[in-house]
Structure 1
């Protein structure tokens, strides 16, 4: 980071654009926010300018790893069809709250039955009782209370169905993550850029955006174009 005071004249056009974008964003914003605010072509342009501004002490950069979640193939199926334990619960209510375990196949796929039973027991929505050689499922008061309510798992399935790539509290999504193929997780690095005190001073003094020459070529020299446009200055101490 440089210690000497920077002026607007020493900044490139893209560096000025980033500072002006941050001013519009109340001093802080993501790379995407900056790109949209000032009309950069791509994020690489923004990142390059931000790197130079950071070196010059005009902005500070905070990087944070975020986990984004989307539905896997099984998650998409459950978001449409419903959780097996919730469908089993509804079926039990319609049949008096107590059914032979074998009857679950009337409302669930065969492979869903053990999954539903496992979650019914784990969530305390039903108990298993054996009588005269037969196994029965009996709904609990907790199960009766939740049958018509949207559970946290169902809320997350709905959220990710409509907004894939969302952030969700890790503890809240842990239950769904434990199910095979339901949740897909991706880690991304979020970059937050903010104006430093020196950066605020530079912006306050005013910045003028003008077309500049970033590299002198023989064509530019011969045409005399360099006389009419600003030539971007370079800090030789960097190299």
Structure 2
């Protein structure tokens, strides 16, 4: 087994991307929340403590997206559990126990970002990439320019600053796949992908809402 490189652990020719842990951890956290139901206020506190190890592991992964995805998922899972009355307390107090630390953490993160020149510049580039067009914001500006020159159908026109040739779209087969498809085939391709995703999400939520909890049935008949 090799050392982690770029968020991957290599096993010979095979590799494991640690960022995929963000897809597994919400399931593990939901099991933790389910196990701590009916524990009252202590259950909510333990759910908050149980979030920390998952978050620490994901912070060691280079991508911040996985950490953010898990954090939002964990917050939604816990809030829905409270809304269903799993902990048997006053729901308003339970939600306060959840959101007060969340608000404090957000404020602390904002203060830290504003006081740290590196993170503040990265945040500024994320909000307004043209602030550093040919540096950290190059990829964002490039994608924006391509989308601005995309057509309804067919390949888009070349942005003026690139003359007659469009540079290779970075990560066109991964992160910017949809942007590449939109530029090469038009906004109609993007609309088609969007419709498929929306239909899949709607039908998925519809069928999930109709399902009964297997864990609940198992627990009831024990």
TM-score bracket relative to the smaller structure: under 0.3
More strand, by proportion: 1
TM-score normalised according to structure 1 size: 0.24
More helix by percentage:
2
Question: What is the TM-score of this pair, normalised by structure 2?
Answer: 0.25
Larger Rg: 1
